[in-house]
Amino acid sequence: MSVAQQIMWNRLISVVEEQAQALVRTAFSTSVREAGDLSAGVYDVQGRMLAQAVTGTPGHVNAMADAIAHFMREIGVPTMAEGDVYITNDPWMGTGHLHDITVVTPAFHHGKHVGFFGCTAHVVDIGGRGFGADGNSIYEEGLQIPIMRFADRGTVDQTLMRLIRVNTREPDQLIGDIYALAACNEIGQRRLSEMLDEYGAAELTGISDFILTASHKATLERIAALPRRQAEGHMQIDGFASPVDLRCKVSVAEDHITCDFAGTSGIDPKGINVPLVYTKAYACYALKCAIAPEIPNNAASLAPFRISAPEGSIVNAVRPAPVALRHVIGHLIPDTVFAALDQILPETVPAEGAGALCNFQLSLRPTRAGGRRAEVLTFNSGGAGARPTLDGLNATAFPSGVMTMPVEATEHAGPVIIWRKELRPDSGGAGTWRGGLGQYMEVGARAGHEFDFSAMFDRVDHPARGRASGLDGAPTTVALSDGTRLGGKGKTRVAEGLRVQLAFPGGGGYGPASGRDRAAVLRDLRLGYITAKAARAQYGLTEAEIAGALD
């Protein structure tokens, strides 16, 4: 029986991956189609996550693991029917900010309620001030959609659709994304019913118990093998107008691990605050990466990780705190957890990386006839931290896992020109293992347009730190083409003809630079990852070696 259950478990994972791919293929927003900023999962009738799609982000899927319980409570399970589809973008009952739409569909098999499908996608616009850190409360950040029915027994709520349409700048994209979310859940339902019929099962109870029991047992075995220790991690980051301190204490018990963020900075006046659900998502992800990376992600494998933070801290922000850029702080939580884990499990976790995605949004306006308005969001990445036995990955989104948007897709979305996009030499911290490289990027508007540039960056004043004597990565820089320096967060008007010049951060190095293999240094020099100056100063190459490598 266990062999059949294992096969069904794998089938469930393939079902939700097809669900996610259906969303990628049908979504309107480039953030979903090109970057994969989404999640998809299947849940049992008790609202426990059984499987998640491989495609997607930890922040979405781990946060969405808690969301189904809210839908069950707010909608009322006895009222649920075939053809129903539910929706919200509530940051505290969804995935942390208004720009994420979560859609949940009750799954029925031959008339019987057997579970739920859920999915989330980041949308380009939700109204309000637009995507950025400038808001002073949640009420400024966009349209709030409480948990409610998008479709009631197959009939879409057109009043809701009209309200959404008149309150957003990109209504066609947003409405299209909502229908895509509903459609991908429907795909999941179809495949689930086919699977249950194939195996002669009437419901998910049996496979649910198998998945959750096996996952919980496997995770507990990994935790039991760890030393019973506790350690504290600390990282200072840019914040908005003043630095933010992230602090956590990780404690390993026999059957669980706690991660407490007491001592972390309080709520910020601007929109960089993090609801606890998102903090939990990325803290759990960091613990799972280090301790049980190959155990599938579900409710049971996440349960032994207990995350807490003081209410009113920046990582447990309460309504009506502004939370639009909760990801900028949230993506740096794993590095804070790793700082503690490194003391408990030496030579296990990587050096600090760029962490936060290097996102920015352009709100374009015509300055003459023939132009057009557009909202263009781009996803970009700095370098990942070096690992104990490997270099850091270049221009790679860790921990979020989303993809960098192609230049062609970005330029197709609006009157934007990407003048430059290339790896940034010397940005990875030197070490026995080198940090991953960041990028250079230069962006402007087509003739006849000006734009507002919404910056969403960190690591300007606090670059990624190396580990075990590795050197720090290069910091973020933001400037206009006329030389004006810009801050890492906030909205700036950019006049027609000016460009924004960006240098995204590199990851920290691991181990002393003197321990790096000479052949690896020469290879980096030939590939342009480091310059002759860095090869000489940081790695001690001779002029003859440099000349030979560049010949």
What number of other Cβ atoms are within 10 A of residue 393's Cβ? 21
Q: Dihedral sign for Cα 471, 473, 477, 481, please.
A: positive
The pLDDT value recorded for residue 62 is 87
CA dihedral 93, 97, 100, 104 (to 10 degrees): 0
Residues contacting 476, CB < 8 A, separation 6+: 358, 382, 438, 457, 458, 459, 460, 463, 488, 502, 503, 504, 505
| The pair of three-digit structure tokens given for residue 516, joined into one six-digit string | 């790096």
Quick one: which of 89, 103, 24, 99 has its CA closest to 56?
24
CA–CA gap between residue 205 and residue 10 (Å, rounded): 16
Residues of the chain with confidence (pLDDT) below 50: 1
Residues contacting 42, CB < 8 A, separation 6+: 12, 15, 16, 19, 49, 50, 51, 107, 115, 116, 117, 118, 188, 192
CA–CA gap between residue 395 and residue 401 (Å, rounded): 11
Bridge partners of 359, per DSSP, are 456
Bridge partners of 445, per DSSP, are 416
H/E element holding 86? Answer: strand 85-88
Helices 2-26 and 205-224: crossing angle in degrees, nearest 10, is 100
328 within 8 A of 228, measured Cβ to Cβ: no
Beta strands in 178-337 (DSSP E): 230-237, 244-252, 257-260, 305-308
Amino acid residing at 518: R
| The pair of three-digit structure tokens given for residue 380, joined into one six-digit string | 């970009």
The pLDDT value recorded for residue 221 is 97
Quick one: which of 351, 340, 347, 424 has its CA closest to 381?
424
Residues contacting 209, CB < 8 A, separation 6+: none
